[in-house]
Chain A
């Protein structure tokens, strides 16, 4: 019998597939994502949280948007990662002392931060390489 098949556990297989074909769901809350973005970093964008692996939250998260971000995060299948883009999502940035803005890390667990106001494509690529290096 020829050995033209291989055996693997389904979990391992799906993890391998997910690691090599990731899709990002953008949530452009502020003014960052136009400058750089997942597209420029070579990651396909998908607008359905059920099929996304990475949640890209760009810009300041307001009180009103916080439940939305959480809900989208909860809808995503595990394993999932959150990328926070820009200084505003990191710590409030320019809007750190604004009454309407919360830190993204208080809402969802964040896996990688992209700094900058606005971040450049290089910042974005470096952060994503870092995320891939974490291996999940």
Chain B
């Protein structure tokens, strides 16, 4: 299994056709699109199979596409240190569907999933620990969604009189006259 194509075929052979929806390779890395129901099975296979040995979970991240019916794509990046190979799994999911947690297969998936939950609002099932990780509730929303403003929704300040923190809604600020920023925004 020297070439990536052979390798992709090998993986696909072990699963039903509807489980692995797509297969592409770009920049020397194989990307498989898997069905939500088949995720844990696929990852366990990739970890345990003697020809794959993707024993390290490098990263999990998500991308938000607000115009799609299933708006989130989750990306799982696995590495095989023994065979020096990487693979990426893509999986589509919707706002109100819970994704199976990978915490049982790779222990370090837990924090990545916590991060995705608070940043994108994707929920996970069978997850051991669903507390917030990087941000506070006062940020108000899911920051990495495309409809969340970059400058945030809330403002935090400390009231000396009441000796407590006040979270207030941020007023839209007048547009800055930075040429570079304006021109960069033109393509958005």
Binding site for B on A (CB under 8 A): 62-64, 66-67, 70, 97-100, 102, 106-108
B158 touches A106 (CB 8 A): yes
Chain A CB within 8 A of B151 CB? yes
Q: In the complex, which of the residues A63, A70, A97 contacts B139, with contact meaning CB atoms closer than 8 Å? A: A63
Bound-state CA distance A99–B136 (Å) is: 11
B148 touches A70 (CB 8 A): no
Number of A-B contacts (CB under 8 A): 44
B158 touches A99 (CB 8 A): no
A99 touches B153 (CB 8 A): yes
- Chain A residues with CB under 8 Å of B165's CB are 66-67, 70
B158 touches A107 (CB 8 A): yes
Q: In the complex, which of the residues A66, A97, A98 contacts B158, with contact meaning CB atoms closer than 8 Å? A: A66
Given A63-B136, A64-B135, check contact A100 B158 (CB 8 Å).
no
Q: How many residues of B contact A (CB 8 A)?
A: 18
Bound-state CA distance A98–B154 (Å) is: 11
B153 touches A107 (CB 8 A): no
A63 touches B156 (CB 8 A): yes
Chain A CB within 8 A of B68 CB? no
Main secondary structure on B side of the interface with A: loop
Binding site for A on B (CB under 8 A): 134-136, 138-139, 143, 148-158, 165
Bound-state CA distance A107–B138 (Å) is: 14
Question: Closest approach, in angstroms, between the C-beta of A51 and any C-beta of chain B?
Answer: 23
Bound-state CA distance A82–B101 (Å) is: 44
B143 touches A99 (CB 8 A): yes
B148 touches A99 (CB 8 A): yes
Which of A62, A63, A67, A70 has the most chain B CB within a 10 Å cutoff? A63
Q: In the complex, which of the residues B139, B149, B155, B157 contacts A100, with contact meaning CB atoms closer than 8 Å? A: B139
A100 touches B143 (CB 8 A): yes
- Chain B residues with CB under 8 Å of A67's CB are 165
- Chain B residues with CB under 8 Å of A66's CB are 156, 158, 165
B152 touches A98 (CB 8 A): yes
Closest to A108 in B: B158
- Chain A residues with CB under 8 Å of B157's CB are 102, 106-107
A99 touches B150 (CB 8 A): yes
